[in-house]
Amino acid sequence: MIVAVDLNNKLQIWNIKTKKPAFDLMELNFEVSCLYSPNFFLTGFDNNFLFIGSDKGDIFILSLTDFTFTNCYVSFSQIQSFMNKKKMKNSKLHLVDYVLNIIINPSNFSEIFIAYQYTGIIIYNLEVNSVFNLYFNKIN
């Protein structure tokens, strides 16, 4: 399978064996900054998800079994409120932040690491839908 997003933010997943799309184009209402699917190339569509990072800092999760968005959603505002609770200050904190990378925590599959351009690295727990920890990016 190949995952592609075109310039008009249309998502398409192609089946390499049949050389045809696995499903019709899905138009996204946000700009995609990164894609991540754990074990997607090894196991196909069996219980897998596609994590889609946006240029506004949000993470959307697409179920690859039925091509629908799950109700689990990571909002950048959750991360900002976590930072405010912990009294973390960043002189260059942006209202939105660009998602650079998303990966599953190899020691705990219910957590994902999210790397942001300015904020740092977030550990987000998918089971409880909350920020677990933040490795702060100190900017001078």
Cβ(100)–Cβ(116) under 8 Å?
yes
Give the pair of three-digit tokens for residue 39: 């074990």
What is the pLDDT, as a whole number, of residue 44? Answer: 38
The one-letter amino acid at 76 = F
In the numeric block, the tokens 């946006």 are attached to 54
Q: Residue 68's beta-bridge partner residues?
A: 63
Would the pTM count as exceeding 0.85? no
What is the C-alpha separation between 89 and 93, in angstroms, rounded?
8
How far apart (Å, rounded) are the C-alpha atoms in residues 114 and 83? 15
The pLDDT value recorded for residue 95 is 62
- The pLDDT score that the predictor gives to residue 89 is 59
The tens place of each residue's pLDDT in the chain, 140 residues long, gives 778 888 888 888 887 888 877 776 678 888 888 888 776 444 333 457 888 888 888 888 888 778 888 877 788 877 777 777 766 655 455 566 788 888 888 788 788 888 888 777 888 888 888 788 777 655 54
| pLDDT at position 137 | 59
pLDDT value, residue 103: 86
Helices (H), the chain: 40-43, 76-85
- For residue 140, the model assigns a pLDDT of 44
Cα 66 from Cα 131, distance rounded (Å): 27
**Which residue in this structure is represented by tokens 């894609």?**
35
Asked if 94 and 140 count as a contact pair (C-beta separation under 8 A), the reply is: no
For the chain, the domains span: 30-136
Question: Is 137 within 8 Å of 90 (Cβ atoms)?
Answer: yes
CATH superfamily of 30-136: YVTN repeat-like/Quinoprotein amine dehydrogenase (2.130.10.10)
